[in-house]
Amino acid sequence: MPKLTTMTSEAVVVLLLLVAAALVVFYTYIYHREARQTRRLTRRQVWTLRLLRVGAAVLVIFALARPVLTITEHRSESPVVPILIDGSQSMTFDDARENPLVRGPRQSRYESAKIVLDKLMDPLIRKHDIRLYKFSHDLKLITALDSRGEKGKKIEDAARLFPDIDGRPDAATGGLTDITASGTAGLNNMGDSKVSGMIVITDGRQNSGAPLAKLIELAQSDRVKVPVHTVVLGSEYPLRDLRLDDLNGPPDASLGDVLTLQAKITNDIDDSLATELTLYEANDEEYKKAGTAEAQKKLFRQVAKRPIRLRRGQQAIEISCIPETEGDRVFRAELPVMADEVNVENNSAVLTVHVAKKGLKVLLIAGEPGREYDYLAPALLRDPVINLSCYLQSADVDYKQQGNTNIELLPETQKQWSYFDVAILLDVDPVEHKHPLTVQQIAGLESMVSKGGGLLIVGGRNQGLAKLLTVHALKLREMLPIEIDKNDHPQIDRFYEESFTVGRTRDGRLHPVLRMNGDDRKNEEIWSTFPKFYWAHPAVKIARDSISLLETTSDVPTIPKGRCVMAVKRYHEGSVVYLGLDSVWLWRNPYEDFDYDKFWTRTIRYLGETKLKGGQQQVTLSTDRRSYAPGETITLQLRVLDPALMNQLADQKLYAKVAMPKGGEDMILLERSADGEPAFIGTYRTKRVGSLKATAQHTGTDSEAKKLFDVKYEFQVQHQSLEAKDTSADLEGMRVLSESTGGKHFNYRNMNDLATLLDDFPADPKVITRKNPVDIWDGLTFLLIFLMLVSAEWSLRKWWGLL
């Protein structure tokens, strides 16, 4: 029903009424004056003129009031369902095999999305209008379909309506996934339409950095109030991929000695994958000259292979070989290609290592040929890196001292001592033997150690360290990691018939020398099998800046509990180890000489590491991966392998320096690992692309500043797809999105119930009322009527002779 209203305000209407009243008065006055002239007119003529004049006046007033005629219309509209389909690159990855929608051995997530669309479109289009969108970093409307009620047409193949999906290889090319921005845009685009719900078909792995909470907040708001339903393709597990993230190892290796490389492997294949890791070696120069990857591959020869069992996720696996050729060598670790592996390019990694003939020159000085000497010398002689020279003090004057390199006399001068890398004082006699240790010799020994050498002092029952300290207190007391009472000599007349146990201290458990096995549990088992001891060297307490590795753990009258029997100390650039046991040979039982040899050779290698590797390798610097995308978080880890060094660094601030490819450096603070690991961690982000070099070095706090360590690590920052970084689906994130907004969540586990999603879309149409205002006064008709009235009045008056 049309309704007459006015466009003019009420005040104007009142004014117009006043004007009308004034006109009535005016017209009354005029007609009163004209009464004489109108007497000759008939009553009908008079009233005709009066009506015409009043009519014209009314029309004017009516026009001034600007009357409008409002016509109200009522219309019903189908509710809208926006469907957002993920068009990012990750949708080209394989869908989860467990998804019931997957037909055949492999099916991309995008193909699965088509099937989902097929299942949903036909029922939905009956009573809903559908808006199909594709999204990646933004939202793009593909098509808008009205409900079949209007079109009356069946959707034969919903996928055809979405041409980007159907068979187009570039269908999913988006380099980013931003569900938050796309969903927000989709909801905002709906305007006043009634939205029954929004469907998001995606793998859910948002990598734009935008929080999903924003979308949830919008969908929950009173203004929008739209449930968001999510259909997630893929699974919470990454795609099947076996990846060799990194290959780490020392920059230098000794010719003929074992070289151990650490491969960081990520297993996204199975929870427990049995496979093998193969190591190949090639000449670095030839490798660089070879132009193609195929030619490079031909240069390699296999040097090691080991079966491995991998749990899911990243883990470090060691593989060892013995380099037989000097020079720069390229080592390539390789994993086999698994069935259905998503990326086979990342199954290998290379590392260049400089191989040179190196060795540790070890001088073993023993007082008497005790049982330890019997077994120790062969244990050291077996090590290919160790070049041993024995010097038995008690030997006959004309005795030919033994070892790889025979010596006739002990070194005297500093220069002679500097020939050796490690010295072992095995219960030496400083005075009484034919070959006592002189002050000059001890000074030479101290000089050798302070310049990076190693010293192992074994306190035995024959001589004891008190005697040695009495003669050479000045230097030795400073070097020893233990405090010895110089009046507390071994009681040689006493019987030691009660046994006691020794155990590793907290630092000892972490120390590489005392790790008989890489596995902690096995390590504990092995240590529990070692026999008991009957004698230990007397000691007062651990020296400053030293750490105790072994101590007595049972109390007997002769040896108190808690006495340190092994300690280590860093002395300038070198290290000193004290051992207060003279019968470590008991560890030959129960595993024969396996652990015994291991203990000694590891101790000697530890002490000679500075000389062997050109620097203390007690720390390693690495990142969690070798390659990053710009802006990605890089985690730098400085792992301290030597508990003695960790003890020294415990309260210090450490920094790593990262050198940019085109100049410039950044400093990163490394903080102590929160999980108690002997490591310092720092995070870093950069947008610079190229090869970045991280360096961590530390200088001692003493006045004779020497580098405690100086380690380098190189990693790459390069443009790379964030889509491929994590190929798992974010089931949890999408579930939260759905449940928070009142929507439903579907993934490969409940995809068979997808039809139930249709129950959640109310089909009630939206009734829309529209009012169309029509201006009455502003028209030709109105003007013609007015003109006709004015003209008629004027003409009649003329006709009747009133003018």
Partner 1 sequence: MTEQRSRTVRSSTRLPRSTGVLAFLAVGLMIVLAGAVVAQSTPRPRGTPRASATPRPSASPRPSARPDPAGTPTSTVDANEEDRLRAMREKARGPQFVGEDPAFLVLPRKGERSQMVAELMTPKVREMIRKSLDYLAAKQEADGGYSDTQFTSNTGVTALACLAFMAEGSRPRVGKYGRAIDRGLEFLLKNRQSGGVIAGKGSNPLGPAYENCFSTLALIYAYGDCPHLPVVRDTISRSVQAIAHAQKLDGGWRYDFGREGQSDMSITANTLWVLRSAKKSGFTVAADSVSRGVEFVTKCAMPDGTFRYRTFGNHAEPSIGGTGVIALCNNGTLAHPLIGPARDAISYDYDRYTIEDLKNRRYIVFGIFYASLAQYMCGDQFNYKAKGGEVKPGGFIPWFKKATAVLAAMQRKDGEFWDEYDNTLYPTAMSVIMLQSPLGYLPIYER
Restricting to residues 756-795, name those near partner 1 by CB under 8 A: none
Q: Judged by CB under 8 A, which stretch of 8-16, 203-211, 471-479, 590-598 contacts partner 1?
A: 590-598
Q: Judged by CB under 8 A, which stretch of 173-181, 242-250, 397-405, 565-573 contacts partner 1?
A: 397-405
Q: Judged by CB under 8 A, which stretch of 19-27, 230-238, 371-379, 634-642 contacts partner 1?
A: 371-379
The binding track of 281-310 with respect to partner 1, each residue x by CB under 8 A or -, is: -------------------------x----
Q: Judged by CB under 8 A, which stretch of 196-204, 219-227, 512-520, 756-764 contacts partner 1?
A: 512-520
**Of 526, 635, 510, nearest to 568 (Cα)?**
510
The binding track of 478-507 with respect to partner 1, each residue x by CB under 8 A or -, is: ------------x-xxxxxx-x--------
CB of 502 to partner 1, least distance (A): 15
Q: What is residue 160's DSSP assignment? A: G
Is the Cβ of residue 496 or residue 800 nearer to partner 1 in the bound state?
A: 496
The binding track of 350-369 with respect to partner 1, each residue x by CB under 8 A or -, is: ------------------xx
For position 167 contacting partner 1 by CB under 8 A, the verdict is no
For position 276 contacting partner 1 by CB under 8 A, the verdict is no
Handedness of CA 399, 403, 407, 409 (dihedral sign): negative
The separation between the first and the last C-alpha atoms of the chain, rounded to the nearest angstrom, is: 46
CA dihedral 434, 439, 443, 446 (to 10 degrees): 70
Full strand arrangement of the beta sheet holding 129-135: 139-145, 129-135, 80-86, 198-202, 228-232, 745-746
Is the Cβ of residue 498 or residue 671 nearer to partner 1 in the bound state?
A: 498
Is the Cβ of residue 522 or residue 541 nearer to partner 1 in the bound state?
A: 522
Residues 6+ apart with CB under 8 A from 281: 300, 301, 303, 321, 323, 325, 329, 330, 331, 332
H or E element: which one contains 2? none
Q: Judged by CB under 8 A, which stretch of 583-591, 626-634, 727-735, 763-771 contacts partner 1?
A: 583-591
Residues 6+ apart with CB under 8 A from 126: 147, 148, 149, 763
The binding track of 64-93 with respect to partner 1, each residue x by CB under 8 A or -, is: ------------------------------
For position 248 contacting partner 1 by CB under 8 A, the verdict is no
Residues 6+ apart with CB under 8 A from 340: 94, 105, 106, 240
**Near partner 1 by CB under 8 A: residue from 585, 680, 715, 748:** 585
CA distances from 178 to 134, 207, 294, 612 (A): 11, 7, 39, 53
**Near partner 1 by CB under 8 A: residue from 97, 151, 371, 798:** 371
Query: What are the backbone angles phi and psi of residue 776, rounded to the nearest 5°?
Result: -85, -45
Say if residues 104 and 115 touch (Cβ distance below 8 Å).
Answer: no
What is the rounded CA–CA span in Å between residue 59 and residue 349?
A: 95
| Binding residues for partner 1 restricted to 425-464, rule: CB under 8 A | 461-463
| Binding residues for partner 1 restricted to 533-552, rule: CB under 8 A | 534-535
Q: What is residue 463's DSSP assignment? A: S
Query: What are the backbone angles phi and psi of residue 757, rounded to the nearest 5°?
Result: -65, -30
**Of 331, 376, 347, nearest to 585 (Cα)?**
376
CA distances from 110 to 183, 232, 235 (A): 19, 11, 14
For position 260 contacting partner 1 by CB under 8 A, the verdict is yes
**Of 380, 284, 378, nearest to 332 (Cα)?**
284
For position 591 contacting partner 1 by CB under 8 A, the verdict is yes
Q: What is residue 584's DSSP assignment? A: G
**Near partner 1 by CB under 8 A: residue from 117, 185, 365, 388:** 388
CB of 249 to partner 1, least distance (A): 13
Say if residues 613 and 544 touch (Cβ distance below 8 Å).
Answer: no
CB of 313 to partner 1, least distance (A): 22
**Near partner 1 by CB under 8 A: residue from 197, 403, 459, 608:** 403
For position 372 contacting partner 1 by CB under 8 A, the verdict is yes
Is the Cβ of residue 26 or residue 594 nearer to partner 1 in the bound state?
A: 594
What is the rounded CA–CA span in Å between residue 227 and residue 738?
A: 7
Token pair belonging to 511: 């120390």
Q: Could you give the 3-state DSSP secondary structure of residue 216?
A: helix
Q: Could you give the 3-state DSSP secondary structure of residue 587?
A: helix
Is the Cβ of residue 163 or residue 590 nearer to partner 1 in the bound state?
A: 590
Query: What are the backbone angles phi and psi of residue 339, rounded to the nearest 5°?
Result: -65, 140
For position 384 contacting partner 1 by CB under 8 A, the verdict is yes
CB of 277 to partner 1, least distance (A): 11
**Near partner 1 by CB under 8 A: residue from 149, 250, 251, 256:** 256
Is the Cβ of residue 595 or residue 642 nearer to partner 1 in the bound state?
A: 595
Q: Judged by CB under 8 A, which stretch of 47-55, 133-141, 142-150, 403-411 contacts partner 1?
A: 403-411
Say if residues 762 and 195 touch (Cβ distance below 8 Å).
Answer: no
**Of 79, 82, 77, 78, nearest to 187 (Cα)?**
82
Q: Judged by CB under 8 A, which stretch of 28-36, 571-579, 592-600, 666-674 contacts partner 1?
A: 592-600
Is the Cβ of residue 225 or residue 532 nearer to partner 1 in the bound state?
A: 532
Is the Cβ of residue 6 or residue 260 nearer to partner 1 in the bound state?
A: 260
**Near partner 1 by CB under 8 A: residue from 205, 588, 698, 735:** 588
CB of 323 to partner 1, least distance (A): 11
**Near partner 1 by CB under 8 A: residue from 176, 212, 392, 476:** 392
| Total residues binding partner 1 (CB under 8 A) | 72
